[in-house]
Amino acid sequence: MNTLEQLHKLSIRKPVQTTTATYIIKVETDEGSASFMKTMPTKPKTSKGIKAQNNKLSKWVEKTYPDFTSYEVILLES
């Protein structure tokens, strides 16, 4: 395959889509409650990816709010 054919193949590729996922996170503590939005750089499509992203958000909440009594992570549909 010559260079011209290689360039043509590269030029017909679809552009990479950048998607983000926005979540509403509700945290309850002994002092009160907080609710906020968090945007992640990717929006997973497979069940394994969704589970991994939810685990990442859960660990973030547990690290940021160590005195939580409960929390809820909700994906905003876009």
Question: pLDDT by residue (tens digit) across 31-53?
Answer: 999 999 999 988 888 999 989 99
Q: Is residue 53 part of a domain?
A: yes
How far is 54 from 44, CA to CA, in rounded Å? Answer: 10
Residue 62 confidence (pLDDT): 94
Q: Is residue 33 part of a domain?
A: yes
Q: Is residue 4 part of a domain?
A: no
User: What domain count does the chain have?
Assistant: 1
Q: Which domain holds residue 58?
A: 17-75
For the chain, the helix, strand and coil percentages under 3-state DSSP, each to the nearest 5: 35, 30, 35
Q: Is residue 2 part of a domain?
A: no
Residue 11 pLDDT class (50, 70, 90 cuts): low
- Tell me the pTM: 0.70
Residue 77 confidence (pLDDT): 76
Q: Is residue 52 part of a domain?
A: yes
What residues contact 62, with CB distance under 8 A and at least 6 apart? 68, 71
Quick one: which of 16, 18, 26 has its CA closest to 75?
Answer: 26
For the cut 90, the answer to whether the pLDDT of residue 4 exceeds it is no
Residue 61 confidence (pLDDT): 94
Q: Is residue 7 part of a domain?
A: no
